[in-house]
Amino acid sequence: MANSYFPREQNQSARGVIRCPYCVEAGNFRVMAIPESEDRYTCNQCGHMALPSNPLFECACKKCARFRIT
Ligand SMILES: [Zn+2]
Ligand SMILES: [Zn+2]
């Protein structure tokens, strides 16, 4: 599926950048804003959140909630 494919260059040139898996902008996944204090990334388009330092973190945005239901 399209969601499971990630371009190789993401691991090299974009280290430390988290991209929203739901939002595509100009052919790439939208880069999520990096907060100043917390290690929590938030997509300012759909509200999706990611916390790379905490694998148990569960995002509560609409898109993730829909995935959990199905
Ligand atoms: Zn998003
Ligand atoms: Zn989410």
Backbone torsions φ then ψ of 11, nearest 5 degrees: -75, -20
User: Residue 28: how many CA atoms within 13 Å on its side-chain side?
Assistant: 11
pLDDT at 11: 44
What b/e readout covers 35-64, taking b as 16+ CB neighbours within 10 angstroms?
A: eeeeebbbbeebebbbbeeeeeeebebeeb
pLDDT at 52: 84
Nearest CA to 5 among 66, 13, 24? 24
**Cβ atoms of residues 57 and 51 within 8 Å:** yes
Neighbours of ion ligand 1 (CB under 5 A): 20, 22-23, 43, 45-46, 48
Which ligand minimizes its atom distance to the CA of 65?
2
Q: Could you report the per-residue pLDDT of 11-57, keeping only the tens digit for each?
A: 444 456 788 888 887 677 777 766 666 778 888 889 999 888 888 99
- Higher-confidence residue: 1 or 60? 60
Which ligand minimizes its atom distance to the CA of 43?
1
Give the residue extent of every domain in the chain: 2-69
